[in-house]
Amino acid sequence: MGRRIRIELTSRNDFWRNAFFVEWNHQYPERAIDSSAAGLMVADDWLPDLERVAGQCFSAVRPAPADPGRRRIFSRLFSSGQG
């Protein structure tokens, strides 16, 4: 087993998010991904393969931040004046 990493999945909508998981399970049935409703996944370090499958499903993956609360604080600060 490789190094486990936290990954964010960003998709156009729920359809494409679900399509990512269907396609991943089709292409890599032996590679399990632990996912949460918040768009975070934990997987072995398969980042190139995850990015390729995500691209096929109008989605993107990237390593998740070590402190997700910090990202929420900054997004609130910088998006509060826009509407």
What's the rounded Cα separation, in Å, for the pair 12 and 36?
Answer: 17
Predicted local distance difference test score (pLDDT) of residue 57? 97
- Taking the domains of the chain in order of start, what are their residue ranges? 4-79
- pLDDT of residue 83 exceeding 50: no
Specify whether domain 4-79 bears CATH 3.30.70.
Answer: yes
Predicted local distance difference test score (pLDDT) of residue 6? 86
pLDDT tens digits, residue range 33-74?
888 756 678 888 898 999 999 999 999 999 887 766 665 665
Predicted local distance difference test score (pLDDT) of residue 43? 82
Length of the chain measured in residues: 83
pTM greater than 0.75 (yes/no): no
**What Å distances lie between residue 26 and 12, 78, 80, 82, CA to CA?**
21, 39, 41, 41
- pLDDT of residue 29 exceeding 90: yes
